[in-house]
C-alpha cells in the first residue's frame, strides 16, 4: 500500500478491507485486495486533527479516535459522521468495540481505558 503519509494505526475497513490513519492527515480506505478506495475525509468532508485508533462495529461503521480534537467519531456506511464522545477525553489514542456493544477508548492523558455504554449508534 503506497501513497500513505505517516501511517499510524490500521484497523478493519469496509467489506473486508483496511482503514489506515495518517498522522495529522486523514483515514485512507483500502479494499480487500488492498486497492485504494479513497479517504473518510474526502468522502464526508470531515476534517481530522490527528486521527489515531480505528475500529469498526458489527454493522461495518468505522469509528476513529482523534487525538488532537479529543473526540471519537463514527463514520456510518451511509450518512454524515456522528460524534460519539467529545467530553472527558484528554488524548484518545486507541478505540475498540466490545461484543456487548460498549465503546472502549484508551486515553493516554490520564492512562486509562474509558468504557462507554448505551451509545445507541453502536447498537
**Reported pTM:** 0.90
Answer for the pair 84, 63: CB distance below 8 angstroms, yes or no.
yes
Using the predicted structure, report yes or no on whether residue 1 has a pLDDT greater than 70.
no
Strand partners, 114: 105
| 7-122 is classed CATH 2.30.130.30 | no
User: Quick one: pLDDT at residue 75?
Assistant: 95
Q: In 3D, which of 60, 58, 59, 90 has the Cα closest to residue 72?
A: 90
What is the C-alpha R_g of the chain? 13
User: Quick one: pLDDT at residue 119?
Assistant: 61
User: Quick one: pLDDT at residue 93?
Assistant: 95
- Helix (H) / strand (E) element for 44: namely helix 40-44
Pairing type for strands 82-85 and 27-30 reads unpaired
Mean pLDDT, rounded, for 73-80:
92
pLDDT by residue (tens digit) across 95-115? 999 888 899 999 999 999 999
Using the predicted structure, report yes or no on whether residue 68 has a pLDDT greater than 90.
yes
Domain positions in the chain: 7-122
Amino acid at each position: 500500500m503506497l501513497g500513505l503519509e505517516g501511517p499510524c494505526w490500521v484497523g478493519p475497513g469496509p467489506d473486508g478491507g483496511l482503514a489506515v490513519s495518517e498522522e495529522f492527515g486523514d483515514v485512507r480506505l483500502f479494499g480487500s485486495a488492498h486497492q485504494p478506495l479513497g479517504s473518510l475525509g474526502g468522502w464526508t468532508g470531515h476534517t481530522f486533527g490527528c486521527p489515531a485508533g480505528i475500529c469498526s462495529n458489527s454493522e461495518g461503521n468505522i469509528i476513529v479516535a482523534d487525538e488532537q480534537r479529543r473526540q471519537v467519531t463514527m463514520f456510518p456506511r451511509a450518512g454524515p459522521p456522528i460524534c460519539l464522545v467529545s467530553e472527558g477525553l484528554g488524548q484518545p489514542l486507541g478505540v475498540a468495540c466490545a461484543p456487548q456493544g460498549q465503546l472502549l477508548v484508551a486515553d493516554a492523558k490520564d492512562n486509562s481505558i474509558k468504557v462507554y455504554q448505551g451509545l445507541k449508534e453502536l447498537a
